Structure 1
Amino acid sequence: MTSFASVHAFEAALADLRGPDADAAADARVRQAELTKPAGSLGRLEDLAIFFAGWQGRARPQIDRARAAIFAGNHGVTVHGVSAFPPSVTAQMVANFASGGAAINALSGAAGLDLTVVALDLDRPTADFTVDAAMSEAECLDALNRGAAVVDADLALIVLGEMGIGNSTAAAALCARSLGGDASEWVGPGTGVDGHGVARKTAVVDRAIAFHADAPRSAFETLRRVGGREIAAIAGAILRARQLGVPVLLDGFICTSAIAPLAADNAAITAHCIAGHCSAEPGHKRLLDLLGLQPILALGMRLGEGSGAAVAANIIRSALAVHDRMATFAEAEVSASL
């Protein structure tokens, strides 16, 4: 079933966002106060449990079924030498995912996540967005819907990630167009380009922003003009997850850039999202700060492919386990005056 049958349907869904169950979140807070520990002593774990209670609509949330969805796409902007690797690596890494040899295979398994990999027309890179829109309206809508299709209503959590040579350049352009700032504030080394490579990327993003300066600033137009298929797919998955009340765990800079155009149109879109980690890519911390997202982890990771978010999923499981399985003061016959 098509989630977003038209651009209007996508925009209408973004404008009308459901919220969490306030009563369930309140009940979870009451339970936290009754558990055998000093108030607030589990820190962020307590907040995560309450967050999930609100989105699951029950005071004792569980993760019965969770999925990691990794989207892959190729970018025409790589003609400008913005990556340390050729575009052929995207397909090679997708094959590595399929054979079980990538970091995300190991990490999703360790976190109890089903792994879905969606390769989006790798033989058809997006257009060079310094001289054209990266995608047509139809191509962008297709990418949004292919992302939305991975989100099932019975998921308790979806972890999102990406793979695509050149996509850190697209991410920087998305952030600059959506949230402002100079290109130099958003561009980083990506796959490991040197200082000259960073300067090249910055110039490319500057040209892209200038070329599309007169275009509409809507989330859809920003995604299709300077995004990529895999990034648009992540945006579609984020919005569909909100429609279904499924919490989203975001990975690094590129993954998180998908929400920047959505947040520029409706800041409330971040309410069902958690930042799994803060990556080593310089623009990621700036992006998280502007979106008001506090990362769970900061491990110096910059691999992408959902890896940091998959590690953070284990922290979420721990938060829900302690919330559900700890005894209350009454159950343990412990004085509540700790």
Structure 2
Amino acid sequence: MLPPFTSLDDFRNQLAQAKGVDAAATAGAAARNGQLTKPPGALGRLEDLAIWYGGWRGSDRPEIAAPQVIIFAGNHGVTAQGVSAFPPEVTAQMVINFEHGGAAINQLAKLAGARMDVHALDLDTPVQDFTQAPAMREAELLAALQAGWNAVDPTADLLVVGEMGIGNTTPAAALAFALFGGDAADWTGRGTGVDDASLANKTRVVAEGVAMHGAVIKDGLDALACLGGREIAAMAGAIAAARLLHIPVILDGFICCAAAACLLRTSATALDHAVAGHQSAESAHPALLKELGKEPLLSLGLRLGEGSGAALAIQVLKGAVACHSGMATFAEAGVTDG
């Protein structure tokens, strides 16, 4: 089990002091890859993925046997500004759908053989409208980070985190804008499908929020407190816990990557254990992936959230690891190594 953290500075310190990848396992996995019955590099990026995964799992011949998918749900005061095409009540309704197995993520998690957990975070008490006040007080942010931290199963060997929260592409855009600069319009997309007038309004909301809080944002945790939401913070807490537990993470779409960006802007090595599952159809996601330094595994025009793209990408990583660990070496197969 992970040690608990009792303050934001404690969280920062644990993240900064997290041990890196197992260099010996990485070297062993690379050596094994060079002996497999295939031309060098013939499996392309699958080879790099398998080596990366083995390094984080401490094995030159790893397996993926216990993936975990965690969905966090939260509500946002900023929805009162008309930033979403759907009302806030949909968040709770979708949580029930998750719990009854009726959502896309349920099907994809089942297909991947993943345990799926759902955590609804104070849905009756939305975080504050960040154009009026900081989204969360320090105690609220700590509680949300801890919810994510404690939700990770230490016996899992792969993690996907997803979200449900009507309006949450707005705080995600504000986080990206605050952390990486540019213009509010660069980071603000249509989310659930808002029209042009609503997009202009949403962009105004993002710009106003960052203008209001920008001076006090020194790192990603400050940004989360000022502009984020409980489900976004919980995703960050879970990704951070996985970093300390050496559980590789597949990142989902724009909102998940905004949560991840908050960790990266808090500790430069916070996302070394993570890959990007997919590039979503949200307009700013490619730019956010570039800032994270992550190349997506898939690009299928998805914009659902829920961890759906990352859950689908579990299959790609499973394929990489299955080939790496299951294939014979030239010596084992009695095949001449040219």
Q: Which residue number in structure 2 is paired with residue 47 of structure 1?
A: 48
Shift, 1:18, TM fit: 1.5
Q: Which residue number in structure 1 is paired with residue 149 of structure 2?
A: 148
CA contact 1:179–1:260 (8 Å) conserved in 2: no
Shift, 1:267, TM fit: 2.2
CA displacement, residues 224-261 of structure 1 (integer Å, 9 cap, x when unaligned):
11000000000101111111111111110001100112
Which is worse superposed, 1-10 or 59-68? Answer: 1-10
Shift, 1:219, TM fit: 2.1
Structure 1 position 252 matched with structure 2 position 253: yes
Task: Kindly provide the amino acid, as one letter, of the partner of residue 239 in structure 1.
Answer: A
Task: Kindly provide the amino acid, as one letter, of the partner of residue 181 in structure 1.
Answer: G
CA displacement, residues 244-294 of structure 1 (integer Å, 9 cap, x when unaligned):
111111110001100112212322112101100000001111000111001
**How far, CA to CA, are the matches of 2:249 and 2:319 in structure 1?**
17
**How far, CA to CA, are the matches of 1:306 and 1:217 in structure 2?**
28
Secondary structure of the corresponding residue to residue 216 of structure 2: coil
CA contact 2:252–2:277 (8 Å) conserved in 1: yes
Q: Which residue number in structure 1 is paired with residue 263 of structure 2?
A: 262
- Pairs aligned (count): 337
Task: Kindly provide the amino acid, as one letter, of the partner of residue 146 in structure 2.
Answer: N
CA displacement, residues 8-61 of structure 1 (integer Å, 9 cap, x when unaligned):
211112322320101101111111111110000001110111011101111011
Q: Which residue number in structure 1 is paired with residue 74 of structure 2?
A: 73
Over aligned residue pairs, what C-alpha RMSD do you find?
A: 1.0
**How far, CA to CA, are the matches of 2:91 and 2:7 in structure 1?**
29
Q: Which residue number in structure 1 is paired with residue 177 of structure 2?
A: 176
Q: Which residue number in structure 2 is paired with residue 158 of structure 1?
A: 159
Q: Which residue number in structure 2 is paired with residue 292 of structure 1?
A: 293
Secondary structure of the corresponding residue to residue 311 of structure 2: helix
CA contact 2:12–2:266 (8 Å) conserved in 1: no
**How far, CA to CA, are the matches of 1:198 and 1:335 in structure 2?**
61
Task: Kindly provide the amino acid, as one letter, of the partner of residue 286 in structure 2.
Answer: K
Which is worse superposed, 16-25 or 103-112? Answer: 16-25
Task: Kindly provide the amino acid, as one letter, of the partner of residue 36 in structure 2.
Answer: L
Alpha carbons of 1:2 and 1:200: their partners in 2 closer, same or farther (altered >3 Å)? farther
Secondary structure of the corresponding residue to residue 214 of structure 1: helix
Secondary structure of the corresponding residue to residue 118 of structure 1: strand
Q: Which residue number in structure 1 is paired with residue 89 of structure 2?
A: 88
CA contact 2:275–2:294 (8 Å) conserved in 1: yes
Alignment of 1:130-149 (within 5 A): 130-149=131-150
Q: Which residue number in structure 2 is paired with residue 6 of structure 1?
A: 7
**How far, CA to CA, are the matches of 1:175 and 1:3 in structure 2?**
28
CA displacement, residues 119-161 of structure 1 (integer Å, 9 cap, x when unaligned):
0000000000001000110000000000011112221101111
CA contact 1:3–1:240 (8 Å) conserved in 2: no
Task: Kindly provide the amino acid, as one letter, of the partner of residue 120 in structure 2.
Answer: A
CA contact 1:127–1:135 (8 Å) conserved in 2: yes
Unmatched 5+ stretches in structure 2? none
Task: Kindly provide the amino acid, as one letter, of the partner of residue 285 in structure 1.
Answer: P
Which is worse superposed, 118-127 or 12-21? Answer: 12-21
CA contact 1:135–1:224 (8 Å) conserved in 2: yes
Q: Which residue number in structure 2 is paired with residue 200 of structure 1?
A: 201
Q: Which residue number in structure 2 is paired with residue 328 of structure 1?
A: 329
CA contact 1:107–1:310 (8 Å) conserved in 2: yes
CA contact 2:15–2:244 (8 Å) conserved in 1: no
Alpha carbons of 1:2 and 1:57: their partners in 2 closer, same or farther (altered >3 Å)? closer
CA displacement, residues 146-177 of structure 1 (integer Å, 9 cap, x when unaligned):
00111122211011110100100000001111
Alignment of 1:230-249 (within 5 A): 230-249=231-250
Q: Which residue number in structure 2 is paired with residue 105 of structure 1?
A: 106
Shift, 1:64, TM fit: 1.9
Q: Which residue number in structure 1 is paired with residue 273 of structure 2?
A: 272
Identity of aligned residues (%): 54
Q: Which residue number in structure 2 is paired with residue 38 of structure 1?
A: 39
**How far, CA to CA, are the matches of 1:87 and 1:249 in structure 2?**
27
Q: Which residue number in structure 2 is paired with residue 228 of structure 1?
A: 229
Which is worse superposed, 257-266 or 315-324? Answer: 257-266
CA displacement, residues 84-143 of structure 1 (integer Å, 9 cap, x when unaligned):
000000000000001110000000000111000110000000000001000110000000
CA contact 1:63–1:156 (8 Å) conserved in 2: yes
**How far, CA to CA, are the matches of 1:329 and 1:2 in structure 2?**
44
Secondary structure of the corresponding residue to residue 24 of structure 2: helix
Secondary structure of the corresponding residue to residue 270 of structure 1: coil
Task: Kindly provide the amino acid, as one letter, of the partner of residue 36 in structure 1.
Answer: T
**How far, CA to CA, are the matches of 1:259 and 1:307 in structure 2?**
16
**How far, CA to CA, are the matches of 1:8 and 1:290 in structure 2?**
24
CA displacement, residues 289-317 of structure 1 (integer Å, 9 cap, x when unaligned):
11100110000000000100010001111
Task: Kindly provide the amino acid, as one letter, of the partner of residue 109 in structure 1.
Answer: K
Give the TM-score normalised by structure 1.
0.98
